[in-house]
Structure 1
Amino acid sequence: MDLVEETLNKSNLGELKVGDSVNLERAMKVSDRLGGHIVQGHVETLGVILEKQMQDEEAILSVGLDPEWMRFCIPKGSITLDGVSLTIARINGNIIEIALIPHTLENTTLGIKGKSETLNIETDIIGKYIDRLLSFDAEEEIIDTNILKAIRNIQYGES
């Protein structure tokens, strides 16, 4: 598997050793049915497992995140932990709780991860787009308008 510097800087993949397991999920095709989780497979930050409570065959995973990323997390929203697309059950400050079903525990590395281990995190793309759109202010709009005018002038000779 090849990794670029950006991925190594934002993930724990550089810590892997030969023979370590990873989760690989195929990318969704545009023509596929949408199953509810809109993520791309891009690691954005790291989280740390604060607690893993086993309840019968299921587990509740408490994961601490950098507060900067919490604005993209909502209860029942999507998040990816180590490449596994999951649903946030609860939020408490900068801690998210994820309920893991037996299938996830048995078929992903989340079943063997424990307290204090790091996780690669990706948040929902729609939340990131909304955040980006809301961050623009009037000054940026003026700059954008001037850029559009310059492009039109180059393309069509407009002034």
Structure 2
Amino acid sequence: MAKNMKTITSILLALLVPLTTVAGECPPAPNTIEKAINEHIQKIRASEYCPARSIQSQNDTIIAVYTAEGECGEDKETPPGACSVNWVRYMVGSLNGKIIGPVIVGGKGGLADNEIKIKGNIVELVGLTIGPNDALCCPSVPSSKRFGFSENGFKEIKP
């Protein structure tokens, strides 16, 4: 009986996960950024929550921050994106046409960013973090993270 329930659950998840991906269209991104995001999502066996994708560009620099949900990693039996209730924010960029990243920039219990600022070779993500009286769902403390970047990748700048 338990095996049948697991099979039924797996089938239902396999049907529902692609529907959630189609339901929210991702903001358009240049092909190189789109490819980098899709390859990363497939590699970690997650699904992208498209409405949360942010893209900012300045001169020859493009920065994208996106959300991966339900990462399955090495679990090959469960459909991608159905392995947890966790979400992680990643950042990927294109600098003079070269892809850099991805790097983890926030997620559940961490920074919930809502703005990308690019100044020179520094990107700042502005948003909210969990305060002492906040529920995990509902950050309220203004916060930001800064990352230096070059063609070698991103490096967080600690305060």
* Bin for the TM-score computed over the shorter chain: under 0.3
Q: Which has the higher helix share?
A: 1
- Which one has more relative contact order, counting CA pairs under 8 Å at least 6 apart? 1
More strand by share: 2
Larger Rg: 1
